[in-house]
Structure 1
Amino acid sequence: MSNWWSNRDLIDAYLDAFVLEFIQRTGRLASLKPNDALQALKNGTLGFDSIERIELSSKLSLALGLDKTGLSDLLLAYQAPEKWVDICQQSLSIEDRSMHFFSSGTTGNSKPIFRNNDHMLAEALFFQQLLGPSSGVVSTVPVHHIYGFMWGILHSWRQATTLTIRSPLFFTPMSILEQLKEGETLIATPDFLNLVMRLGLNLPKDITLILSTSPCHEGLRQWLVKQGVKAFDIFGSTETGAIAYRHIGDSHYQMLDYWELDGNKLLCFPELSLEIALQDKLSFSSKGGVTFSGREDRVVQVHGHNMDLQQLESILHSHPDVKDAQVRTYSEHGILKVKALIESEAALLESTTWQQSFCQWLTQHIERMELISSIAATDKMPKGSLGKPCDWHGDRVIQLYPSVTG
């Protein structure tokens, strides 16, 4: 079988998603749709300065390993996207044993995560054998991130079928579901499916559904069971790939058969001499199933992005006018959300100028502000009866974000 990158449609889709996210993070052409990013790059309508072009080229080189083959500089020499595709294909034909995926960090710059190509292929083969044939793959997630790459790029390549991108940013849930065809595999997130459920829509019963990136709460799981769709919930991370899976009718997960556990803390793939520290708490049922009960640290997933609550608190503490800060999670319609509260002088909090200045500071220090539902302020941090920080309510605080910034 040929390699995924030899398929022009697949590498086009990967590069387009990569460039599209970079464009959106610079604040340019926010309405740009999938499959348009490479063309916009070709047309020169993005207005990238030299530093931005270097940053984009450098990140893409690291992601696909062009830095190892000596072809990375060619990305700066050519602006035409078809040349970029040719350069990437040429580089991957020389060396394709490893890739880097950028983590979904929210409180700082995302970091590149190394992934072994043989490991990714083993995962793709495992699920190909588990799920059987597919007439097409429809991805609602970006295909240059690990989840979208594994299921959008590699799964469609292994199945020798078509890949269609249907981002919820540009297509309504109704449109996405109406365009699904019999036998297709839909790649989605619990957030998207929560929205489908709340809108009162029904899933086609003749498709296969894959969901991952954040926990599937019990209410959503029960709804999916009633929908009667063939659905699989995948548990994993950028660092590990898929660790375990479950049919949506099961309460416990099953470990992928190539993983071994060393003391519930270390994932081992002996065939590849691969060892990865496990960040999640797990327990085994009497029947051999696995239950995951959160992370060992304070990292949570919000809309498919990792957020380190401890790091977010530290960033808020670093502002010279902030005396104290706390960050909490809460659930709304089964979706995990994050809110924060800072303590500062009452005189400052009453100043609209200070509020606006503080919100500007937030956007400069926190990469994905849109994933934080609210940031409020008080002149006295609320404490419980034992003197420990407790939850806060609207009548006791001033709402800073998003009310001031809109």
Structure 2
Amino acid sequence: MTFRTSGSSGTPKRCTHRLAALWEEVNELALLVPGRRRVLSAVPAHHVYGFLFTVLLPRAGAALPVTDLRAAAPGAVVAQLLPGDLMVAHPDFWDLAASSEPRFPADVVGISSTAPLRDASARALASGGLRLLQVYGSSETAGVGWRDTADAPYRLFSYWRRGEEEGTIERETGGEGERFALQDRLSWSGPDTFLPEGRIDAAVQVGGTNVFPAYVAEVLALHPQVAQCAVRPMRLDEGRRLKAFVVPHPGNDPAALRAGLSTWIGARLTPAECPAAYSFGPDLPRQPNGKPADWIIDARD
């Protein structure tokens, strides 16, 4: 089976998986979500995540009906959930659902993948009665690990193991071994438990698109009134876009620069690449040891 992904360069590429390997994952997933009666989906089925949960998983045992709810608002979807449902969605969907402090019927399981989910959202959903299974993986690897508690480490599926080489992970299916290069840095707390710690290739996802903060900073630095700048993804409590810290050239008013900067950068970058918040100061934020530091976005941004 071949799926397409944007890839770290933003150019679509083909990711091919053996069908037997996909079924191996589905068989383990089925053990994690027993007793489902129907599947409700807010994700497309032509990507590997959607294919696993909305095409293969419903056929792993007794055939389950699948309902496509991509066009429905999260609040409307939550209102029609029933005991025994499996709700397959993405982090943006769950963030919006969590913001309304929903109450879920008994025995409803949610699935989240494709990007990190805010721990605050996961906790809010859990307090509303939802068991939320977070699956870590990529188009290249399919599912690698899972967790169903915020803040907890992910646990590898049984057929994965930590690679002998740094930055790799290895899989054995049907007696055949295969090594994959990781896209994220993983912090291992045990032989089969880990937490992701950011992209190795320095790309981050904004609205499902891979963008490079360093490249955005290079373009932003071309503005004639910008002396220095830094670009980072927002913290989880700030949003899901990029943010920029700008040091203007001496004599330039930050307020005036702020007013025109979004239009200037919007003419040179894609919407996903454009920072959604700007902060200004005389120097870039740094730690006491001189290394770059994060910053809290200005309330006026």
- Which TM-score band (shorter chain)? 0.7 to 0.9
Shift of 1:327: 0.5
Q: Which amino acid aligns with 1:374?
A: A
**Is residue 55 of structure 2 the alignment partner of residue 153 of structure 1?**
yes
Work out which of the residue numbers 21, 28, 37 in structure 2 matches 1:126: 28
Work out which of the residue numbers 60, 64, 67 in structure 2 matches 1:164: 67
Conserved 8 A contact 2:246-2:284: no
Work out which of the residue numbers 68, 81, 87 in structure 2 matches 1:180: 81
Q: Distance in 1 between matches of 2:278 and 2:69?
A: 32
Conserved 8 A contact 1:240-1:276: yes
**Is residue 186 of structure 2 the alignment partner of residue 282 of structure 1?**
yes
Q: Which amino acid aligns with 1:143?
A: A
| Map of 2:244 onto structure 1 | 340
In structure 2, do the counterparts of structure 1 residues 222 and 318 end up closer, same or farther at CA, with 3 Å as the change threshold? same
Work out which of the residue numbers 42, 50, 59 in structure 2 matches 1:140: 42
Unaligned stretches of 5+ residues in structure 1: 1-97, 400-406
| Map of 1:234 onto structure 2 | 135
Deviations 1:285-333 (A, max 9, x none): 4695333333334333445544332233234346677553310233354
**Is residue 280 of structure 2 the alignment partner of residue 373 of structure 1?**
no
| Map of 1:39 onto structure 2 | none
In structure 2, do the counterparts of structure 1 residues 335 and 121 end up closer, same or farther at CA, with 3 Å as the change threshold? farther
Conserved 8 A contact 2:3-2:16: yes
Unaligned stretches of 5+ residues in structure 2: none
* Higher mean C-alpha displacement, 279-288 vs 245-254: 279-288
Q: TM (normalized to structure 2)?
A: 0.77
Work out which of the residue numbers 265, 269, 272 in structure 1 matches 2:167: 265
Work out which of the residue numbers 192, 196, 220 in structure 2 matches 1:292: 196
Q: Distance in 1 between matches of 2:188 and 2:291?
A: 34
Q: Distance in 2 between matches of 1:211 and 1:268?
A: 23
Conserved 8 A contact 2:53-2:88: yes
Task: Say which SS state the counterpart of residue 331 (structure 1) adopts.
Answer: coil
Q: Which amino acid aligns with 2:90?
A: T
Q: Distance in 2 between matches of 1:229 and 1:393?
A: 32
Q: Which amino acid aligns with 1:289?
A: T
| Map of 1:78 onto structure 2 | none
Task: Say which SS state the counterpart of residue 270 (structure 1) adopts.
Answer: strand
Cα RMSD (Å) of the superposition? 3.7
Work out which of the residue numbers 346, 354, 361 in structure 1 matches 2:267: 361
Q: Which amino acid aligns with 2:168?
A: L
**Is residue 211 of structure 2 the alignment partner of residue 310 of structure 1?**
no
Q: TM (normalized to structure 1)?
A: 0.60
| Map of 1:245 onto structure 2 | 146
Conserved 8 A contact 1:324-1:343: yes
Conserved 8 A contact 2:228-2:246: yes
- Sequence identity percentage: 23
Structure exhibiting the larger radius of gyration computed from Cα positions: 1
Shift of 1:176: 0.6
Q: Which amino acid aligns with 1:146?
A: V
Q: Which amino acid aligns with 2:112?
A: L
Task: Say which SS state the counterpart of residue 267 (structure 2) adopts.
Answer: helix
In structure 2, do the counterparts of structure 1 residues 227 and 258 end up closer, same or farther at CA, with 3 Å as the change threshold? same
In structure 2, do the counterparts of structure 1 residues 139 and 104 end up closer, same or farther at CA, with 3 Å as the change threshold? farther
Q: Which amino acid aligns with 1:361?
A: A
Task: Say which SS state the counterpart of residue 181 (structure 1) adopts.
Answer: coil
Deviations 1:131-158 (A, max 9, x none): 2353221112233333223222332344
Give the aligned length: 292
Task: Say which SS state the counterpart of residue 82 (structure 2) adopts.
Answer: coil
| Map of 1:196 onto structure 2 | 97
In structure 2, do the counterparts of structure 1 residues 163 and 227 end up closer, same or farther at CA, with 3 Å as the change threshold? same
In structure 2, do the counterparts of structure 1 residues 275 and 315 end up closer, same or farther at CA, with 3 Å as the change threshold? farther
* Higher mean C-alpha displacement, 385-394 vs 243-252: 385-394
